[in-house]
């Protein structure tokens, strides 16, 4: 699939010989990772002894089955105080954002290249197009990857996007300015990405069935070699796995080593705790939060009762239709679950032309299959991941459903309609979305993840024209409104690229630090999961370009961290690609990783003291002096030495020590440390929390 990075090679013969020797099997179905090299396989068939024997061979760092990862599916920029006329760098048009997703729809107005010059000379990539796909000076390169079986029916064997997800995320990050954009009149206004002048490089790794590990690793290799500045990846896998059993974590490590920050979606498993999908410390993990726009739709019954729900719904033009409860229209010859209105479970004769009431809000395919004109669905738990369904539909609460069912039983001819949605200002925004995955970090408890939050609810952005947005009609749309951490991730990717445009030589960790330490603080009263929901806070792109101080780190720091976490010399050597080994000098603790946040964990009612060593780099002005501002609630004692940092020069580094003592009387205690020079406020959260066996 296109050119490989310089110096790379095909490892198929090498790995085949190993596998035949170790397990007497063909290698065609194995995926092994060996410093950027991978191929796919029947790893599920290996016994633990065979895996261990195989991993002990020279040149093999880990063996894992190639799994399928799933996609985490604009008022937002103005909401973040990042207007169209924000101060821009003259270097912005040289920034290239690598989008690893479902591809792109190049004809969208968001990717017009009218005022663009040729790609920057650093670009080494290619356009793997064909007769139905071409790149331009906005979309400077495109590749697609599919190494496992046949391309699914209905998908397109090119970088062209048939799902819409990649087009949506790409336009959020770097879409051009499109006036009078809307989804069927909803959210009308000017659509734009965070960096309208930046370039986009497309790496299509996801298809209708998901995203393969082997394709993800290949795309990382290509993006690094091609010369992208930031990698944006709104993909994750459930359940979470160890850092080097996860292709995204592996790819992000190599990107970091090559000076490229990877921005990841946190996942859509909330509001349950410990549901994060992407949490590698060398990448940026992004949660999703609301913006100050919400949609309210109404269900109106024949008796005049009206029920409001916070969602965007395609309306029925105030026409009343007969309404029926799913179990009352059961298809007894076909089976299925009529309560949930699963496909084939409803009697078409009884449902056709009616609104059907269902006890589940996951899909309307069963209602469509039975010929329903609309669906009213119950959602058993609060979830603000607003969806637009394939026919007029509304999601109601359990109590509202009980009222509607009571109405159905009170009359022989019940009727209802779904009214046109209304747009309102959400005065409570931003809040972490209920669907956004929560911490703590499932692998390293003493690193806070997610890192921050960004807009991910009701985001209007470009869409594919490959097919209709609805099974119930043939209508295509140029813009669509969806929610998810998939939408928050490209917001953070654009913010990182914005910082990079002003500071081209900054490391990935310096950029990540700038984003985290300048984030808006969030209200813990309305976000009870606190830092495990929003990390360091809500992203503030304009402020991040001038953070004052940064917590920088690089490969050597993460090597110390990995040694301290117990990774072997063999694993370390093959991960880094050089002769680095773990020793007393390189065996660091997680508390000394130069991270822009602080965390410590212990058991219930136990006291714990941790000492953190940190170093900050002055990126503000010469002759600056920073003093500490410490917030330490009950149960938390925080000491910082020294209490003042003075810098003579820009680029100068100063180290300090933070001693934190926590007495755990509740599951989580949140404090903070701010370095303040009178203008910059470099804020880091400090979190103590209880870990459970």
Catalytic residues: 101, 165, 486
The closest alpha carbon to 121, from 142, 96, 98, belongs to: 96
Q: How far apart are CA 87 and CA 636, in angstroms?
A: 40
**If DSSP codes are grouped into helix, strand and coil, which group holds residue 284?**
strand
Provide the phi-psi class of 470: left if phi over 0, else alpha when psi is between -120 and 50, else beta.
beta
* Phi, psi (deg, nearest 5) at residue 384: -95, 20
> Is 623 in contact with 673 (CB distance < 8 Å)?
no
Provide the phi-psi class of 29: left if phi over 0, else alpha when psi is between -120 and 50, else beta.
alpha
> Is 574 in contact with 568 (CB distance < 8 Å)?
no
How far is residue 186 from each of residues 36, 258, 480, 638, 669, measured CA to CA in Å?
45, 42, 9, 49, 41
Q: How far apart are CA 347 and CA 333, in angstroms?
A: 9
- DSSP H or E run through 490: helix 485-502
How far is residue 421 from each of residues 40, 187, 235, 300, 438, measured CA to CA in Å?
47, 11, 30, 12, 30
Q: In terms of C-beta density within 10 A (0-12 exposed, 13-18 middle, 19 or more buried), how is residue 383 classed?
A: middle
Strand intervals (E) in 102-175: 139-144
Q: Longest C-alpha distance within the chain, in Å?
A: 83
3-state helix, strand, coil in the chain (%, to 5): 25, 25, 50
Q: Which two tokens stand for residue 125?
A: 């990539």
The closest alpha carbon to 8, from 39, 41, 35, 40, belongs to: 35
The closest alpha carbon to 81, from 620, 546, 489, 543, belongs to: 543
Contact partners, residue 7, CB within 8 Å, separation at least 6: none
Q: Which two tokens stand for residue 188?
A: 């009308």
Q: How far apart are CA 100 and CA 166, in angstroms?
A: 8
- DSSP H or E run through 85: none
Q: How far apart are CA 446 and CA 499, in angstroms?
A: 27
Q: How far apart are CA 539 and CA 544, in angstroms?
A: 8
Classify strands 294-301 and 306-309 as parallel, antiparallel or unpaired. Answer: antiparallel
Classify strands 199-204 and 139-144 as parallel, antiparallel or unpaired. Answer: parallel
The closest alpha carbon to 535, from 160, 264, 323, belongs to: 264
Q: How far apart are CA 392 and CA 417, in angstroms?
A: 9
> Is 191 in contact with 175 (CB distance < 8 Å)?
yes
> Is 74 in contact with 459 (CB distance < 8 Å)?
yes
- DSSP H or E run through 669: strand 668-676
Q: How far apart are CA 252 and CA 248, in angstroms?
A: 6
């Amino acid at each position: 699939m296109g050119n490989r990075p310089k110096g790379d090679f095909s490892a198929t013969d090498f790995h085949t010989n190993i596998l035949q020797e170790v397990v007497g099997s063909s290698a065609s179905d194995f995926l092994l990772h060996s410093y950027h090299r991978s191929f796919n396989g029947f790893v599920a068939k290996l016994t633990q002894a065979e895996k261990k024997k195989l991993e002990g061979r020279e040149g093999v760092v880990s063996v894992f089955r190639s799994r399928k990862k799933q996609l985490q599916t604009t008022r937002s920029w103005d909401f973040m105080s990042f207007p169209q006329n924000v101060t821009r760098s003259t270097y912005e048009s040289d920034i290239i954002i690598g989008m690893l997703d479902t591809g792109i729809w190049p004809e969208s107005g968001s990717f017009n290249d009218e005022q663009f010059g040729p790609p920057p000379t650093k670009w080494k990539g290619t356009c793997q197009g064909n007769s139905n796909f071409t790149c331009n000076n906005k979309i400077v390169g495109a590749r697609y990857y599919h190494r496992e079986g046949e391309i699914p029916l209905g998908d397109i064997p090119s970088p062209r996007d048939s799902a819409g997800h990649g087009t949506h995320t790409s336009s959020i990050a770097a879409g051009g300015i499109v006036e009078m954009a809307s989804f069927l009149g909803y959210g009308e206004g000017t659509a734009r990405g965070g960096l309208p002048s930046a370039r986009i490089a497309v790496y299509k790794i996801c298809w209708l069935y998901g995203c393969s590990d082997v394709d993800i690793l290949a795309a990382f290799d290509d993006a690094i070699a091609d010369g992208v500045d930031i990698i944006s990846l709104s993909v994750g896998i459930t359940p979470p796995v160890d850092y080097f059993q996860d292709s995204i974590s592996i790819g992000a490590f190599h990107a970091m080593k090559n000076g490229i920050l990877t921005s990841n979606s946190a996942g859509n498993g909330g509001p349950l705790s410990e549901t994060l999908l992407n949490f590698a410390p060398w990448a940026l993990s992004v949660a999703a939060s609301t913006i100050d726009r919400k949609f309210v739709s109404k269900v109106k019954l024949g008796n005049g009762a009206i029920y409001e729900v916070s969602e965007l719904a395609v309306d029925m033009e105030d026409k009343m239709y007969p309404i029926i409860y799913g179990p009352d229209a059961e298809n007894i010859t076909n089976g299925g679950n009529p309560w949930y209105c699963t496909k084939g479970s409803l009697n078409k004769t009884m449902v056709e032309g009616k609104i059907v009431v269902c006890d589940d809000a996951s899909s309307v395919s069963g209602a469509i299959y039975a010929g329903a004109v609309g669906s009213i669905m119950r959602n058993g738990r609060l979830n603000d991941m607003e969806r637009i369904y394939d026919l007029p539909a509304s999601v109601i609460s359990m109590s509202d459903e009980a009222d509607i069912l009571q109405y159905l039983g009170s009359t022989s001819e019940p009727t209802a309609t779904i009214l046109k949605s209304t747009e309102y200002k959400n005065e409570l925004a931003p809040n972490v979305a209920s669907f956004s995955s929560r911490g703590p970090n499932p692998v390293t408890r003493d690193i806070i993840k997610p890192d921050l939050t960004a807009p991910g609810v009701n985001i209007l952005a470009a869409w594919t024209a490959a097919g209709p947005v609805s099974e119930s009609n043939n209508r295509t749309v140029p813009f669509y409104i969806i929610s998810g951490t998939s939408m928050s991730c490209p917001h953070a990717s654009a913010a990182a690229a914005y910082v990079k445009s002003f500071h081209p030589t900054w490391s990935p960790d310096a950029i990540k630090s700038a984003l985290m330490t300048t984030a808006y603080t969030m209200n813990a009263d309305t976000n009870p999961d606190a830092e495990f929901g929003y990390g360091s806070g809500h992203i503030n792109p304009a402020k991040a370009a001038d953070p004052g101080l940064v917590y920088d780190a690089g490969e050597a720091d993460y090597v110390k961290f990995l040694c301290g976490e117990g990774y072997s010399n063999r694993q370390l050597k093959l991960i880094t690609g050089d002769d680095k080994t773990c020793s007393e000098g390189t065996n660091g603790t997680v508390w000394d990783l130069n991270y822009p946040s602080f965390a410590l964990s212990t058991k219930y009612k136990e006291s714990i003291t941790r000492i953190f060593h940190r170093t900050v780099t002055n990126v503000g002005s010469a002759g600056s002096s920073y003093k500490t501002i410490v917030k330490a609630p009950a149960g938390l004692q925080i000491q910082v030495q020294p209490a003042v940092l003075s810098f003579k020069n820009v680029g100068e580094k100063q180290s300090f020590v933070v001693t934190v003592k926590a007495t755990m009387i509740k599951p989580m205690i949140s404090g903070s440390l701010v370095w303040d020079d009178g203008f910059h406020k470099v804020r880091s959260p400090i979190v103590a929390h209880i870990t459970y066996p």
